[in-house]
Amino acid sequence: MQRALDSVYSGRLIDAAEAYGSGLFYALHPKASVLDEALALAHRITEHSAPVSAALSRQLMWRMLGTDHPMFAHRAESRGINLRGVGPDAREGIAAFLEKHPAVFPDRVGTDSPDLFGDDLPP
């Protein structure tokens, strides 16, 4: 955050090596291979992940950064574990593991993502 704020506040331009060295970038690649490397990274990240679970994990990490108390994050995560652990993706993941085949997760982010943060849950 300190390095990002330094860049934002100062407006100073930094080169790719400095940005990489400060952790702003995940990796550096020659221009000719950037798309191939990005696609390979995207494939590695998503190959074995259920899309809804990955999206919820990302939401938990970002939305809970500024929460007033860690218990809010704990409650949201517990809801997620409970809700995701009984659905079609969980059944598919277990079956794929037991049957030794790649999982094909049926849930979709746009239609099957539960609210973990209390917006549509009873108190």
Domain stops at, among 10, 27, 46: 46
User: HSE on the CB side for 52, CA within 13 Å?
Assistant: 23
Which pLDDT score is estimated for 119? 59
CA 2 to chain centre: 23
Q: Are 87 and 108 within one domain?
A: yes
Domain stops at, among 28, 46, 64: 46
Residue pLDDT, tens place only, 17-71: 888 888 888 899 999 999 999 999 999 988 999 999 999 999 999 988 888 888 9
CA distance 102 to 47: 9
Tokens of 40: 């390979």
CA distance 6 to 15: 14
Amino acid at 13: L
Residue pLDDT, tens place only, 81-123: 999 999 999 999 999 999 999 999 999 999 999 988 875 544 4
Q: Are 62 and 91 within one domain?
A: yes
CA 2 vs CA 24, 67, 80, 89: distances in Å:
11, 20, 32, 39
Number of domains the chain is built from: 2
**Smallest Cα–Cα separation from 49: which of 88, 97, 93, 112?**
93
Which pLDDT score is estimated for 121? 46
Which pLDDT score is estimated for 123? 46
Which pLDDT score is estimated for 86? 93
Q: Are 62 and 105 within one domain?
A: yes
CA distance 20 to 47: 26
CATH number, position 56: 1.10.12.10
- State which residues form the domain around 6: 2-46
